[in-house]
Amino acid sequence: MGPSHVVAPPWESLSLTDAMGVLVYLKIEALQPIGSFKATGIGAACRVSWEAGASRLVCASGGNAGYAVAYAGRRLGIRVNVIVPQTTPAWFQDLIRREEATVVGYGNRWDDAHIYATQLAEQGSAVYIHPFDDPRVGRGTSL
């Protein structure tokens, strides 16, 4: 199974270089399979969890993080539950479902979804992938 991200190419920004007086390169993360930088760090956290024997992943997300977990989970063959606030647009929930994840709307804020997702992970012996406060995610961004 290959990585759930691509190595985004650096792109020289002449306008920012001119404005800042130093050479500026941008990393074009929109080229990731899911269109977001979340694929890199979250994909790495999912892979580490899979390698440690995880059979299910849970994530609370308003969108991109859940999409990244769903994408990585599908590629790894792991079941995924993404808990989203009920305010998450239906089209984004559908995007996550297309990655074969189960999507559950809970609460009106991310905090509500997060509390429910952590409880769900603990009850079902799943691995919780935090969308930003997880050292595995941070380490993965350096890939």
Kindly state whether residue 2 falls inside one of the protein's structural domains.
no
Buried b (16+ CB within 10 A) or exposed e, 2-27: ebbbeebeeeeeeeeeeeeeeebeee
* Structural domains in the chain (count): 1
What whole-number distance in Å separates Cα of residue 101 and Cα of residue 79?
7
pLDDT tens, position by position, 130-139:
988 887 776 6
pLDDT at 142 over 60: no
CATH value at residue 123: 3.40.50.1100
pLDDT at 20 over 70: yes
Mean pLDDT of 11-37: 86
Kindly state whether residue 29 falls inside one of the protein's structural domains.
no
Kindly state whether residue 3 falls inside one of the protein's structural domains.
no
What whole-number distance in Å separates Cα of residue 74 and Cα of residue 137?
18
pTM for this one? 0.83
Residue-number span of the structural domain to which 76 is assigned: 38-140
Q: How confident is the model at residue 95 (pLDDT cuts 50, 70, 90)?
A: very high
